Amino acid sequence: MPLTFVTWNINSVRLRLPMVLEFLKAVKPDVLALQEIKCTNDQFPSRELAAAGYGYQVVHGQKAYHGVATISRLPLGDQTSRVLGGIDHARHVAAQVDYGRGPLTLHNFYIPAGGDIPDPKENPKFAHKLDYLAELQDWFDDKAFDSGHLIAGDFNIAPHENDVWSHKQLLKIVSHTPVETEALDRLLARRNWTDLVRKHIPYDQKVYSWWSYRSPDWDSADKGRRLDHVWATNDVAAHSAGAEILRDWRGHGTQPSDHAPVVVRLD
């Protein structure tokens, strides 16, 4: 059966719950992975989302910061979470869904942003980010990642030249520095993951999923970065039927998130 999967850094699920409910009604994804929910598990709006048809939920939250949650119209099994980088900031949750070709493990990640200084010796946040990526690489060496996995979320890295508004100007800006982009490229190649967005949107096209709040007119300035990603093992990627970034939702309503939803469809 076809499956529509969406990842979206919502930047506070309680603040933007009306927008999430509107989105679910309009787009009707089968599964929605949210990052930066910024609430504890008991504060997560489970009832409202269940009433909207998304009664299957896995949540890994913490007070006021970070946190991830995956909600689904389809049953979710084998729910797990993992601490990476030595600090439990509620940055990962996983669950299995049957998408018609057997079990598919969906990983929802919020990789550390890394602060402002791209030097691990001067900036502990950047060191944490690099440690997180290194541990991911080791984890993905597990044979379990040979097939049947999809990983998604806010990776906080725009890896390619056309994933940022200016490659040259952002080379020393956290999220596009060579040490980060090369680490992510190694991760992508480690198990021959397929970047599902770039499978359907060629690398020579500029595409973004995040635009800073600092820009008074983000849409016209268009100084974006592609920080949000969906990757799949090759067996799953073979059934990928499309991908898109719903840019309009970045400007939707009076208090939008600074991220746009990323959609992939599996046939």
Please report, for the chain, the start and end positions of each structural domain, with discontinuous segments joined by +: 3-266
Dihedral through CA 84, CA 90, CA 94, CA 95, nearest 10? 150
Helix H or strand E segment including 241: strand 240-245
* DSSP E strands, 99-202: 103-110, 149-154, 194-195
pLDDT digits (tens, 9 = 90+) for 99-148: 888 899 999 999 999 999 999 999 999 999 999 999 999 999 999 999 99
Q: Tell me the pLDDT tens digit for each residue of 179-232.
A: 999 999 999 998 889 999 999 999 999 999 999 999 889 999 999 999 999 999
What's the rounded mean pLDDT across residues 79-93? 95
List the one residue out of 195, 185, 227, 231 whose CA is nearest residue 208: 227
pTM value surpassing 0.75: yes
From CA 20, how far away is CA 193, in angstroms rounded? Answer: 29
Q: Which residues pair with 178 in a beta bridge?
A: none
d(C-alpha 19, C-alpha 10), whole Å: 9
- The CATH homologous superfamily of the domain defined by 3-266: Endonuclease/exonuclease/phosphatase (3.60.10.10)
